[in-house]
């Protein structure tokens, strides 16, 4: 059966949760199902949580999640989700990844949320398919899995595999699932329960910076920031950004200071340094490579800017965050 066909049957969902996952991602999976069950007054969804050893796992916020049972090769159902966050491959063995691959024949669809797509790809389930992951990892994911067509979308559905970029896109996907199976009115009711009034499509790109409120007040600033995001590795001048928006540099400066209390140049540099900090803390990329990926013309210029912002050299920052 397709999990997206309108049906009265209960969808059986198994969710494998790894340590250092996001509580918000997990809640975005579970709470829409709970709300759909309550509002429809029937069991539209039946879900259970599993962990690799059957023991509780700690999320990034420090709260522990107690599973219903241990990850099992005998499990079967309609939808199997992997929820993972930081250091995903430290928390799942190669044998367990092989088990994920075998389970694909026992479920109608497999899903990966946040870095869960990395595990699906390692299991070979994304070969020849389109997929996404969290925007911070898109570049590395693309270079790691050449046989996957990586998209910057909020979520991607390719036949029997679903991949989702993060917490908010997970909520978007669940509304899409509810709408497909149970109808638009119920999906609207579920969204209303959580006062969720954004309209996102699966193909909407994941933003580096969430700018919904700012976009309502000053869309020119959000457009400027999107231009900056697209040119982190090869920065362009503030004047060039202004020209793309058909305005003067002075006008762009005034808009940034009015709405963000900073200059466009400072904001642009901060975007690049945020990306650099992610690479320093969460990858083993050489510092020279990180400097290139974030648009610095020399390692010394990168190190100097990094230290000014984070009061630490990149190497010292990496060492501290690896402990």
Instruction: List pLDDT tens digits, range 162-182.
Output: 999 888 899 999 999 998 899
262 within 8 A of 224, measured Cβ to Cβ? no
Entry pTM: 0.68
Average pLDDT (14-33) is 96
Q: Is the pLDDT at 199 greater than 80, yes or no?
A: no
Q: How much is the pLDDT for 213?
A: 47
Per-residue pLDDT, 274: 85
Q: What per-residue confidence (pLDDT) applies to 25?
A: 94
For residue 244, pLDDT beyond 80: yes
Tokens (6 digits) for 73 = 């090769």
Neighbouring C-alpha atoms within 13 Å toward the C-beta of 156: 23
Tokens representing 187 are 């999906």
Sequential DSSP letters for 37-87: HHHHTS-SEEEEEEESSSS-EE-TTS-EE--SEE--TT--EEEEEEEE-TT
Q: pLDDT by residue (tens digit) across 123-160?
A: 999 999 999 998 878 888 888 999 999 988 889 999 99
Provide the greatest CA pair distance for the chain: 65
Which residue, chain included where needed, has tokens 């928390």? 91
d(C-alpha 114, C-alpha 34), whole Å = 21
Per-residue pLDDT of 257-313, as tens digits, reads 888 888 999 989 988 998 898 888 878 889 999 999 999 999 999 999 999 988 999
What average pLDDT does range 206-230 have in this prediction? 70
Q: Mean pLDDT throughout 214-239?
A: 83
**d(Cα 298, Cα 247) in Å, to the nearest integer?**
31
- DSSP H helices, the chain, are 23-40, 94-103, 116-122, 138-144, 167-182, 184-193, 212-217, 219-229, 238-244, 249-260, 264-282, 287-293, 299-310, 314-321
The structural domains of the chain, ordered by start, are: 11-193 (3.40.50.880), 212-321 (1.10.10.60)
Using pLDDT thresholds of 50, 70 and 90, give the confidence band for residue 205.
Answer: low
Instruction: Read off the pLDDT band of 219 (50, 70, 90).
Output: confident
Asked whether residue 200 carries a pLDDT value surpassing 70, the answer given is no
Q: Kindly report, residue by residue over 51-104, the tens digit of the pLDDT.
A: 999 999 999 999 999 999 999 988 999 999 999 998 999 999 999 999 999 999
């Amino acid at each position: 059966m397709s999990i997206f066909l309108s049906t009265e049957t209960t969808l059986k969902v198994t969710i494998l949760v790894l340590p250092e996952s996001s509580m918000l991602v997990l809640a975005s999976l579970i709470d829409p199902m709970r709300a759909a069950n309550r509002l429809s007054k029937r069991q539209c969804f039946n879900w259970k949580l599993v962990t690799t050893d059957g023991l509780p796992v700690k999320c990034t916020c420090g709260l522990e999640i107690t599973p219903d049972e241990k990850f099992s090769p005998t499990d079967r159902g309609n939808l199997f989700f992997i929820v993972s966050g930081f250091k995903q491959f430290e928390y799942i063995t190669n044998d367990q990844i092989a088990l994920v691959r075998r389970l694909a024949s026992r479920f109608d669809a497999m899903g990966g949320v946040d870095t869960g797509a990395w595990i699906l790809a390692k299991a070979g389930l994304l070969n020849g398919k389109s997929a996404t992951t969290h925007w911070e990892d898109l570049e590395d994911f693309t270079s790691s899995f050449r046989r996957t067509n990586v998209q910057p979308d909020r979520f991607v559905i390719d036949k029997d595999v679903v991949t989702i970029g993060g917490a908010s896109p997970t909520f978007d996907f669940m509304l899409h699932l509810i709408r497909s199976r149970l109808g638009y009115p119920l999906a609207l009711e579920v969204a209303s329960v959580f006062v969720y009034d954004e309209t996102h499509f699966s193909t909407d790109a994941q933003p580096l910076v969430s700018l919904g409120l700012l976009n309502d007040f000053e869309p020119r600033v959000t457009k400027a920031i999107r231009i900056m995001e697209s040119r982190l590795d090869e920065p362009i001048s503030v004047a060039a950004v202004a020209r793309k928006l058909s305005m003067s540099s002075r006008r762009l400066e005034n808009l940034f200071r009015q709405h963000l209390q900073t200059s466009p140049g400072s904001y642009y540099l901060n975007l690049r340094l945020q990306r650099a900090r992610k690479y320093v803390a969460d990858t083993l990329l050489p510092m020279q490579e990180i400097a290139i990926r974030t648009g610095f013309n020399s390692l010394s210029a990168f190190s100097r800017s990094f230290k000014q912002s984070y009061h630490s050299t990149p190497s010292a920052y990496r060492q501290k965050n690896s402990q």
